[in-house]
Every structure is written in structure tokens, then in C-alpha cells.
């Protein structure tokens, strides 16, 4: 096709994008958060069962080595925190295999920042302020929505205590597919994506908190005051039905972190997925000591998409993956 | 046939679903912040014409459907079947059932090329060209002098279709009609 060489974004959009990125840098400069750059490649990768990593080989002083392309800059940035960097941010190229669509591109830009000493609530406030600054308009009030409450409102079921068979039926009906052998988390993910997500971030900025403990990833867990159930100390920010950001009260316990990596790789073996090399240097850094605090990752391409009112994420990237 | 995985689902791809051949209309990748990825897919059932919305786990696959869309000229009907002939010079003919013909029945005209959808070499659907020229066989007499705007009336065309036409159109005239909307376009 003759026009394949051309950018997927207009030049006008690229100028707007540059202006919005300058806005991001000004936001953090004004708050004394240091911009850093860390490698895209690492000896360890993300073990997350639901993320597919790209992997490559390079000749290094140690010989021929397998290296992973980051799915987010999290591990390197946490090593900087352990080394005493203080608050840091990064606009980092990240890679997730197979993620292609109007809201996804295999290679994308993650805005990630860490706030030692911040409680999760403080970081939620700061995330909302950044989103307002970049959007250049007020998206409406910030609303905290508990994961359990969202399910009760939309489906009349408690996601933690409803019988699994009932969730399988609801998920199967919502998606028109067979879910009778699906796990609780898979059912909840599907219902979240199909039934709840599209309603979020309408007329305001919705921040979902208190995720199931099984979806904690690299966040701490705490007890739900309601009934003592374990929940993840995590939040996600939604605007106009789009998930923009994912924040954690960061796990700092090296032993717990090692156990979660091992659980992930065990799950990968069960599912027939490739295992991912564990980042030993991150574990050593955590054992050395990382200051407690919160961190958040925000899909900057999506925020630019919303700020400029573009339907497809490819329209805010110079060259989306199909044209790279 | 080959199998196609969700990441290969593109508009126009023909696949089998619940025993029927379907064409993919739209494929949307859906993924919660941390969790299983899904593809939300719209498919048109090529036999019933109905559009289905189904969700698949990313990486699942469907069997490809042996579906071909060929240009064929309409020849005649024997009352039970409608006969079409390939336009590639092979003179190969296909008989089409009323069910497969569907709404296209009212747009049939001899020697006009139609798109015939074949599944395992059986005709399952026929679609007319977007525009077709047909003669008016019945309508109220035209109003003299009224060549501009205002008003319309029904006219029956040689294929059996009834369309709304301007008042100045007369029986025996040949009209250009849009088969997608069933609307009059102009005099031919």
C-alpha cells in the first residue's frame, strides 16, 4: 500500500502531543520530582500472568544473554528508590505483546512516578491534579468507588462472596461465551471490562479502590473494614470509560515479592505460558530497603487521546506498530 | 480450513461460529487494568444476515470458513430456483434457493452482475449492485409541468420492487435506484 510510510498521527497532533508532554514535565518540575531515564531492557521481566513480554538477545560483557523488554519501568525505578533517589518520574517506552486495538499498541509510553512517604490517598489526589493539568479542562469531581460496591450496584452481587457458579453465569451471559470453568478472577475481569468499565468516568473522574487481594500485583494488601476480607491497596483511574492509571501502595517486602513472582511463574507453568526470569536485582534492592510509599503508572497515549478527542490511540502516535 | 486466532480477526475474515459461516465485522481488544484480555467481536452470520456480538479470550481461535464471493449474472428462474452464471468466462451456473436470495429477489434483472456468496460451493447469499436501472411498470400518470420539487408517489418496477418516485415520473421510464436504501436516484 502506497501510503503506508506516512505517520498515523497528523503533524498537528504531534505538535499538540509535544505540548502536552511539556505540560507533564512542568507539572513534576514544579513539585520537585526528578525526571529519570532507565533501560528498556532488563535481565528480569514482568512475571504477571496477564502480560506477555517481548524478549531479545544481546552480546554483553557476560556473553550472549537473554534480555526482556520492559512492560513498565517499575523495576528499575524501584531500584533507584532503594538507592535513595527520592521522588522520581519517567516517560518510558514499554512493550506488551499482543495488545492491539483502539486503546492499545504493542509499544507505548508509560508515565510512571513514585512518591516515597505518600499514602495512597495523597497519590490519588496528585494523579487527579496531573490529569486536570494535561487535559486543560476540568473532567468533573473526583469520586472514590469501591470495587465491591461497583459490582453490587451493577450486578446486585458481592464479587468476593457470591457463589462462583453465579459469577460464571453472569460473565457468560455478559460476553456470550462459555465461562463454566473460569476462575473467579477471570469472571470478575470480564464483568469489569464489559459491564462496569464503560460506565466509569462519565461526568467525573472515577477512582476504583480496594481490588480483590488476588489482583494485588505489586501492591500491599489490607483488611476491608467492612468484614475483614483482604483487599489490594491499589487504585485505577477511569475517565470516559477508559482506564488511565493504575496506582499501588508499593510492596516493599522482598520475601513477599519473591513469593508473588514464584506464584506467577507457577501459574504460568499451569497455563502453558513461558516463564519469565525473575529480577534478582530488584529483590536484592528491596532486601536492602526501599522507602515505603506509593507509585502510579499512567498510559500517556490514552491521556493525549482524551485531551485531543481522538478515537484511536494510533492517531496520537507518530507510527503505530502496524506501520513501524 | 486454517484456524484463525483472535489477533488475526480482521474485518471481512470468514470464520465458522456455531456451525454457520460468518464474516468478522469488528474486533475490539478489551483488557482490564490487570487481568485476562478479551476480544469483543461483531460477526455477521452469512446465512441469516444477523449480527452477533461475542466475546473471546484473547488467543482463542476459530476455524476459517470456506466462503467465496463471486460475481455472477442473473439468468432466469424456474419458479423453484433462481439461476446465476459466473462472469469469468467459464459459463458455470449455480442454482440459488429462495431463502438464500432473500430481499435481493425484488432487485433481479437479467444480465446484471450480482455478488453470490458460496459456502462449500453452495450459494448462501446474493447481493445486488449498489445501483441498478429498472423500468417503471406501474405508477399513477405523471403530473405535467411538475418537474421540480414536492410530493412523491409509489412506482412498481419491472423487478417487483416498489419505490417512492417524484410525481413527474411516468410508466415506461427507466430509473436509477439505490438498492441499499431502496430509494429513487434519478432517471437513467
B21 near B124, Cβ under 8 Å? Answer: yes
Contacts of B33 in chain A (CB under 8 A): 236, 243, 246
Distance from CA of B35 to the nearest CA of A (A): 5
* CB-closest option in A174, A175, A215 to B34: A215
Closest partner CB to A190 (pick from B28, B53, B55):
B55
Residues of chain B in contact with residue A100, where contact means CB-CB under 8 angstroms, are: 7, 29
Q: Are A215 and B7 in contact (CB < 8 Å)?
A: no
Cα separation, A76 vs B58, in Å, equals: 29
Q: Does B5 touch chain A (CB under 8 A)?
A: no
- Are A194 and B40 in contact (CB < 8 Å)? yes
Mutation target for B interface from A71, A170, A177: give the one with most B CBs within 10 A.
A177
Look at A192 and B35 and tell me if their CB atoms are within 8 Å. yes
pLDDT at A2: 64
Residues of A in contact with B43 (CB under 8 A): none
Residue B98's SS3 state is: helix
Alpha helices in chain A (DSSP H): 11-29, 74-82, 120-135, 147-155, 164-175, 184-191, 254-271, 280-288, 300-308
Q: Give the model confidence (pLDDT) of A262-298 as tens digits.
A: 999 999 999 899 999 999 999 999 999 999 999 999 9
- For chain A, which residues lie within 8 Å of any Cβ of chain B, measuring from their own Cβ? 48, 50, 98-104, 174-177, 185-186, 188-190, 192-194, 197, 215, 217, 236, 243, 246
CATH number of this structure's domain B3-63: 2.30.30.30
CA dihedral A272, A193, A102, B63 (to 10 degrees): 50
Q: Measured between beta carbons, which residues in chain B are less than 8 angstroms from residue A176?
A: 52-55
Q: Which DSSP symbol is given to A236?
A: E
Q: Cβ A104–B53 below 8 Å, yes or no?
A: no
**CATH T-level fold of B67-127:** OB fold (Dihydrolipoamide Acetyltransferase, E2P) (2.40.50)
Choose, out of B5, B17, B33, the residue to mutate when testing the contact with A (most A CBs < 10 Å). B33
Q: Are strands A205-212 and A142-146 parallel, antiparallel or unpaired?
A: parallel
Number of H helices, E strands in chain A: 9, 12
Query: Across residues A18-44, what is the average pLDDT?
Result: 98
Tell me if A299 sits within 8 A of A108, measured CB to CB.
yes
pLDDT tens for each residue of A121-168: 999 999 999 999 999 999 999 999 999 999 999 999 999 999 999 999
Q: Is the sign of the CA dihedral A280, A284, A286, A290 positive or negative?
A: negative
Give the nearest chain B residue to A247 (CA atoms): B33
Please report the pLDDT score of residue A184 as a whole number.
Answer: 94
Measured between CB atoms, which of A104, A175, A186 is closest to B29?
A104
Q: Helix or strand or coil: residue A132?
A: helix
Over the stretch A202-218, which tens digit does the pLDDT of each residue have?
999 999 999 999 888 88
Q: Where are the domains positioned within chain B? A: 3-63, 67-127, 131-187
pLDDT per residue as tens digits for the range A225-245: 889 999 999 999 999 999 999
Shortest distance, CA B7 to any CA of chain A (angstroms): 7
Q: Please give the pLDDT value at position A177.
A: 85
Q: Please report the pLDDT score of residue B32 as a whole number.
A: 74
d(CA A69, CA B5) in angstroms, rounded, equals 24
What is the interface size between A and B, counted as CB pairs within 8 Å? Answer: 69
Instruction: Check residue A251 and give its pLDDT.
Output: 93
Task: Answer for the pair A131, A237: CB distance below 8 angstroms, yes or no.
Answer: yes
Interface contact B38-A190, CB threshold 8 A: yes
**How is domain A2-139+240-323 classified at the CATH fold level?**
BirA Bifunctional Protein; domain 2 (3.30.930)
- Flag whether residue B18 sits within 8 Å of chain A, measured between CB atoms: no
* Residues ≥6 apart with Cβ < 8 Å to B120: B66
Chain B closest-CA separation from residue A290 CA (Å) = 24
pTM of this prediction? 0.81
Write out residues 98-127 of B within 8 Å (CB-CB) of A: none
Phi/psi at A245 (5° precision): -145, 155
Do B131-187 and B67-127 fall under one CATH topology?
yes
Q: Please identify among residues 51-90 of chain B the ones whose CB lies closer than 8 Å to any CB of chain A.
A: 52-59
pLDDT for A176 beyond 90: no
CATH (one of 2.40.50.140, 3.30.70.260, 3.30.413.10, 2.60.120.10) for B131-187:
2.40.50.140
The pair phi, psi for residue B12, each rounded to 5°, is 95, -15
CB contact under 8 Å between A215 and B35, yes or no, is yes
B125 CA to chain A: closest CA distance, Å? 26
Query: How much is the pLDDT for B7?
Result: 85
B146 membership: H or E segment, kind and range: none
ipTM of predicted complex: 0.74
| Per-residue pLDDT at B146 | 56
C-beta atoms of A48 and B34 within 8 A: yes
> What pLDDT tens digit does each residue of chain B (188 aa) get?
789 999 889 888 999 999 999 999 999 998 876 778 899 999 999 988 899 999 998 889 999 999 999 999 999 999 999 999 999 999 999 999 998 998 899 999 999 999 999 999 999 999 999 999 999 999 988 666 555 566 889 999 999 999 999 998 999 999 999 999 999 999 98
Amino acid at each position: 500500500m502506497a501510503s503506508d510510510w506516512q505517520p498515523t498521527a497528523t503533524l498537528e497532533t504531534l505538535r499538540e502531543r509535544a505540548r502536552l508532554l511539556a505540560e507533564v514535565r512542568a507539572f513534576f518540575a514544579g513539585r520537585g520530582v526528578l525526571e529519570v531515564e532507565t533501560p528498556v531492557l532488563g535481565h528480569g521481566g514482568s512475571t504477571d500472568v496477564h502480560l506477555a513480554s517481548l524478549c531479545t538477545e544481546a552480546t554483553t560483557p557476560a556473553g550472549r544473554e537473554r534480555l526482556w523488554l520492559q512492560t513498565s519501568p517499575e523495576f528499575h525505578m524501584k531500584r533507584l528508590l532503594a538507592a535513595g533517589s527520592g521522588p522520581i518520574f519517567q516517560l518510558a517506552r514499554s512493550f506488551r505483546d499482543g495488545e492491539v486495538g483502539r486503546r492499545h499498541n504493542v509499544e507505548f509510553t508509560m508515565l510512571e512516578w513514585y512518591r516515597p512517604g505518600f499514602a495512597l490517598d495523597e497519590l490519588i489526589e496528585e494523579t487527579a491534579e496531573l490529569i486536570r493539568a494535561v487535559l486543560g479542562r476540568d473532567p468533573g469531581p473526583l469520586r472514590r468507588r469501591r470495587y465491591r460496591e461497583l459490582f453490587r450496584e451493577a450486578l446486585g452481587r458481592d464479587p468476593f462472596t457470591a457463589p462462583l457458579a453465579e459469577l460464571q453465569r453472569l460473565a457468560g451471559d455478559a460476553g456470550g461465551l462459555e465461562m463454566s470453568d473460569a476462575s473467579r478472577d477471570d469472571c470478575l475481569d470480564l464483568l469489569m471490562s464489559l459491564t462496569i468499565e464503560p460506565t466509569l468516568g462519565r461526568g467525573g473522574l472515577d477512582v476504583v479502590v480496594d481490588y480483590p487481594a488476588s489482583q494485588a500485583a505489586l501492591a500491599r494488601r489490607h483488611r476491608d473494614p467492612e468484614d475483614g476480607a483482604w483487599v489490594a491497596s491499589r487504585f485505577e483511574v477511569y475517565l470516559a470509560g477508559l482506564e488511565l492509571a493504575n496506582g499501588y501502595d508499593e510492596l516493599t517486602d522482598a520475601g513477599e515479592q519473591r513469593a508473588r513472582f514464584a506464584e506467577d511463574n507457577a501459574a504460568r507453568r499451569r497455563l502453558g505460558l513461558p516463564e519469565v526470569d525473575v529480577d534478582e536485582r530488584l529483590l536484592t534492592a528491596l532486601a536492602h530497603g526501599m522507602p515505603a510509599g506509593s507509585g502510579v503508572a499512567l498510559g500517556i497515549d490514552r491521556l493525549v487521546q482524551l485531551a485531543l478527542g481522538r478515537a484511536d490511540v494510533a492517531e496520537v502516535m507518530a507510527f503505530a506498530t502496524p506501520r513501524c | 480450513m486454517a484456524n484463525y486466532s483472535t489477533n488475526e480477526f480482521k474485518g471481512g475474515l470468514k470464520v465458522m461460529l456455531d456451525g454457520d459461516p460468518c464474516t468478522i465485522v469488528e474486533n475490539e481488544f478489551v483488557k482490564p487494568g490487570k487481568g485476562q484480555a478479551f476480544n469483543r467481536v461483531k460477526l455477521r452470520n452469512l446465512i441469516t444476515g444477523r449480527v452477533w456480538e461475542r466475546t473471546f479470550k484473547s488467543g482463542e481461535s476459530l476455524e476459517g470458513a470456506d466462503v467465496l464471493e463471486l460475481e455472477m449474472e442473473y439468468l432466469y428462474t424456474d419458479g423453484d430456483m433462481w439461476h446465476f452464471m459466473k462472469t469469468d468466462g467459464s459459463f458455470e451456473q449455480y442454482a440459488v434457493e429462495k431463502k438464500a436470495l432473500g430481499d435481493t429477489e425484488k432487485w433481479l434483472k437479467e444480465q446484471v452482475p450480482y455478488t453470490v456468496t458460496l459456502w462449500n460451493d453452495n450459494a448462501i447469499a446474493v447481493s445486488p449492485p449498489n445501483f441498478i436501472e429498472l423500468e417503471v411498470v406501474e405508477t399513477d400518470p405523471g403530473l405535467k409541468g411538475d418537474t421540480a420539487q414536492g410530493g412523491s408517489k409509489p412506482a412498481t418496477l419491472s423487478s417487483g420492487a416498489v419505490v417512492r418516485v417524484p410525481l413527474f415520473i411516468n410508466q415506461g421510464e427507466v430509473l436509477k435506484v439505490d438498492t441499499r436504501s431502496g430509494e429513487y436516484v434519478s432517471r437513467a
